[in-house]
Structure 1
Amino acid sequence: MDFNNLIQTVLIYALPVIFAITVHEAAHGYAAKRFGDDTAWMLGRMTFNPLKHIDPLGTLLMPVLIYFATSGAFVFGYAKPVPVRFDRLRHPKRDMVWVALAGPGANLLQALLWAVLLFVLIALGLNMEASERFFLEMCRAGVLVNVVMFAFNLFPLPPLDGGRVLVGLLPNKPAYWLARLEPWGFFIVLGLVILGVVSNYWMQPVMRLTYSLLDLLLTPVTYLLR
């Protein structure tokens, strides 16, 4: 493994990853407060300070260990979840859906903004040489990181956001049984990730659809920058 390439990759991805994680978690807190639960606000978690959202194991240690164990072929990690008391929401079952969607929605918006910035920089004449290449690669990393987070967090199994959306949409009895999986959901998802199920049958299709949506949303920008 080329150490210089590793350092360059870390520098390119650092800012996009920090923003992706921080805004994702803060969005959950803002949505929860909007719908009646101020737990995150009271605990100081409704913030864009990345230090408040970093989990030492899931955000720092696990991604590094997996990266080196797989020679950079795979990275997996997570942030410290923003605390939400769903029972304090004004309409718990319905509002749970919006609170859960706020995080992936923030990632989709960030992917769009990074893509817009990429198009603007290219329109201004930046090329793929030296320092200019660094900023273009950072924009591309910003799009990729947020599309990955958007797709992964929508996987329909608690405690991921998609699982909570599904709990909020299902009738009460199946919603109850799905919600009971939450204590083991992380381990189930991790197992499915290792087996390739999440990548092949969820991530790839959802990411393709997401890129198609971004292309559609970027049509006015590409037209204006011609």
Structure 2
Amino acid sequence: MEPINSIQLAAILAIPVLFAITAHEAAHGWAANRLGDPTALRLGRVTFNPLKHIDALGTLVVPILTLMLAGFLFGWAKPVPVDWRNLRAPRRDMALVALAGPGANLVMALFWGLVVTLSLGLGDQWPWLTAPLLLMGAAGVLINVLLMVLNLFPLPPLDGGRILTALLPPRLAIGFARIEPFGLVLLVLLLVFGLLGAVLWPAMMAVISLLPGGDAAMAIVLDRFGRSG
């Protein structure tokens, strides 16, 4: 199979990336509203409209630069505002709100895995349709599993850090939460030195292997995206 160029890669990744981010952030707002805090709903953040969640730097500039210069995708969206004072059981509910984002990415990964399975099932009947769907589905599986596993990493301000903060005894939770202002810097350092990938990659492979179409999606990603340029 011929490798794809950077423009084709960007076109294939656009929809999976935007909706992975959108579903993740909307799920936070939806969960918060269900648990008593309507802040995100009132601000129009419980929506699948990507424009409501895009951060110009984190969603557009940084991902494009890291993809073009370093060959990996890294970025962020506008955080969904949650007022913990409105939650019925703040510590428990903050953990549930945090968990909703990775949970939405798991659902999206399942959806894209089914797209891969369907595209393979159709074979060469409609190549103009199945070929791009197959590539998009494979990208969607990888992106959503990456977002899910990355966000579950126990480091604030990631969702995993917020979940761990809610589970720790109050005194330890207060100390652990103080890491948050430095969390992004620590995350980048872990990424640069390869420690983050060493933890996330096995977890990602384990999740992908359990998804419908997961193994096929991974093979497509390694074959096509791995040789793009």
TM-score range, shorter chain: 0.7 to 0.9
Give the aligned partner of residue 123 of structure 2: 125
- The aligned amino acid for 2:16 is P
Q: Does residue 206 of the first structure (1) align with residue 171 of the second (2)?
A: no
**Is the 8 Å Cα contact of residues 154 and 164 (structure 2) preserved in structure 1?**
yes
**Is the 8 Å Cα contact of residues 128 and 136 (structure 1) preserved in structure 2?**
no
**Is the 8 Å Cα contact of residues 115 and 133 (structure 2) preserved in structure 1?**
no
Give the aligned partner of residue 145 of structure 1: 143
Once the two structures are TM-superposed, the CA of residue 92 in structure 1 deviates from its matched residue by 0.6
Give the aligned partner of residue 223 of structure 1: none
CA gap of 1:126–1:101, structure 2 versus 1, over 3 A, is farther
Once the two structures are TM-superposed, the CA of residue 19 in structure 1 deviates from its matched residue by 0.7
Q: How many residues align?
A: 212
Once the two structures are TM-superposed, the CA of residue 209 in structure 1 deviates from its matched residue by 2.2
CA gap of 1:184–1:52, structure 2 versus 1, over 3 A, is same
1:23-38 correspondence runs (5 A) = 23-38=23-38
Q: Does residue 83 of the first structure (1) align with residue 81 of the second (2)?
A: yes
1:40-55 correspondence runs (5 A) = 40-55=40-55
CA gap of 1:216–1:118, structure 2 versus 1, over 3 A, is closer
- The aligned amino acid for 1:12 is I
Q: Which runs of 4+ in 1 moved over 6 A?
A: none
Deviates more, 1:203-212 or 1:146-155: 203-212
Once the two structures are TM-superposed, the CA of residue 215 in structure 1 deviates from its matched residue by 5.1
Q: Distance in 1 between matches of 2:119 and 2:23?
A: 23
Give the aligned partner of residue 160 of structure 2: 162
CA gap of 1:16–1:217, structure 2 versus 1, over 3 A, is closer
- The aligned amino acid for 1:113 is F
What is the identity percentage for the equivalent residue pairs of Structure 1 and Structure 2? 51
- The aligned amino acid for 1:65 is L
Q: Distance in 1 between matches of 2:40 and 2:124?
A: 41
Q: TM-score, normalised by structure 1?
A: 0.88
**Gap regions ≥5 residues in structure 1:** 219-226
Give the aligned partner of residue 11 of structure 2: 11
Greater RCO, CA 8 A, separation 6+? 2
**Is the 8 Å Cα contact of residues 63 and 74 (structure 2) preserved in structure 1?**
yes
- The aligned amino acid for 2:99 is L
**Is the 8 Å Cα contact of residues 31 and 96 (structure 2) preserved in structure 1?**
yes
**Is the 8 Å Cα contact of residues 153 and 161 (structure 1) preserved in structure 2?**
yes
**Is the 8 Å Cα contact of residues 110 and 212 (structure 2) preserved in structure 1?**
no
Q: Does residue 67 of the first structure (1) align with residue 64 of the second (2)?
A: no
CA gap of 1:211–1:19, structure 2 versus 1, over 3 A, is same
**Gap regions ≥5 residues in structure 2:** 216-229
Q: TM-score, normalised by structure 2?
A: 0.87
Q: Deviations over 1:175-216 (max 9, x none)?
A: 11111111111111111111111111x211210221233259
Q: Secondary structure at the match of 1:156?
A: coil
Q: Deviations over 1:103-141 (max 9, x none)?
A: 000000110111112112222234795553211111111
